[in-house]
Amino acid sequence: MTAVEVRELTVRVGDRPLVDGVGFDAPEGGFTAIVGPNGAGKSTLLRAVAGVEHAASGMVLLGGEDLLALPRRQRARILALVEQDATTELPLTGRDVVRLGRSPHESLLGGGDRDAADVVAAALERAGATEFATRDVTTLSGGERQRVLLARALAQQPRILLLDEPTNHLDLAAQLDMVRLVGELVAEGVTVIAALHDLSLAAAHADAVVVLAGGRVAAHGATEATLTPDLIHEVFGVRAEWTRNPITGRPLLAVG
């Protein structure tokens, strides 16, 4: 089955398209990576799928229903986005920020979410952010803030999780934790779509890839079949070869 069907999605600034007629399918309960050179439109595409960036045209379908046509609160009960450089100047604690992820599940007047405290605590723990629960988020490092924002998205309990460069501010150990968490969420049936600049990370862990170049889809499909050496050379201008990770046995894309 297909969880997310992106159809002819276009985002423009003036007359210039940043994302131009993009279409792809993301497998249900799978991990789809969006890859491409800098400026290819990865973050813009992800924001458009989330409904945060206004799309000039196109649809994002789930079970035949256009998510972009739904009211924001209703869409937020289905889909969550973690942006790579989201900041706030408000003096909120980590727990306050994560608690905002429960807003779509409350009544319009607030309240009515009996599970909020437990869900927030579990999200903080799962994202490795419990130690930041009482900290002012404006004092956190980029990586620490990234964990809090991930916890906020988990608190939404989404069916679809969108991640923009999720390992960008994380050290190596935290990157591995993030990869493991994505694997766990996928195993639980969550559909994950992530914009990644690291081809090797996408190659090792994504079930499918969407390759962007100049705001258009250059290729999409199963990861190993799609990321061919010829395509990588054409789009990224580098040499690449598939091999196996000697430690994990997973596919490994050697780039040089």
Question: What pLDDT shows up at residue 94?
Answer: 96
Which residues neighbour 85 within 8 Å (Cβ) at sequence distance 6 or greater?
none
Rounded to an integer, the average pLDDT of 112-134 is 92
Q: What is the dihedral of CA 52, 54, 60, 66, to 10 degrees?
A: 100
* Structure confidence at residue 17 as a pLDDT band (50, 70, 90): very high
Q: How far apart are CA 55 and CA 186, in angstroms?
A: 27
Q: Which of 149, 161, 209 minimizes the C-alpha distance to 186?
A: 161
- Check whether 86 has a pLDDT greater than 80: no
Of 157, 161, 153, nearest to 129 by C-alpha is 153
How far, CA to CA in Å, does 11 sit from each of 55, 145, 212?
5, 28, 14
| Residues 6/15, Cβ–Cβ less than 8 Å | no
Continuous H helices in the chain? 42-50, 72-76, 94-99, 116-126, 142-155, 172-187, 199-205, 223-226, 229-236
**pLDDT at residue 224 tops 90:** yes
Is beta strand 160-164 parallel, antiparallel or unpaired with respect to 57-62? unpaired
Is the pLDDT confidence value at 6 over 70? yes
53 DSSP 8-state letter: S
For residue 115, the model assigns a pLDDT of: 81
Where does residue 161 rank: exposed (0-12), middle (13-18), buried (19+ CB within 10 A)?
buried
Secondary structure of residue 162 in the 3-state scheme: strand
Query: Measured over all CA atoms, what is the biggest interatomic distance in the chain, rounded to whole angstroms?
Result: 56
For the stretch 57-72, pLDDT in tens is 999 999 999 999 999 9
Beta-strand pair 191-195/160-164: parallel
Q: What value does the mean pLDDT take over residues 114-123?
A: 92
- Residue 92 φ/ψ, nearest 5 degrees: -105, 150
At 192, phi and psi to the nearest 5? -110, 130
Q: Is pLDDT of 39 > 80?
A: yes
Provide the β-strand partners of residue 242.
253
SS3 210: strand
Beta-carbon contacts of 50 under 8 Å, excluding residues fewer than 6 positions away, are 79, 81, 162
Residue 2 clears pLDDT 80, i.e. is over it: no
Residue 83 pairs in a beta bridge with none
In the prediction, which pLDDT does 84 show? 84
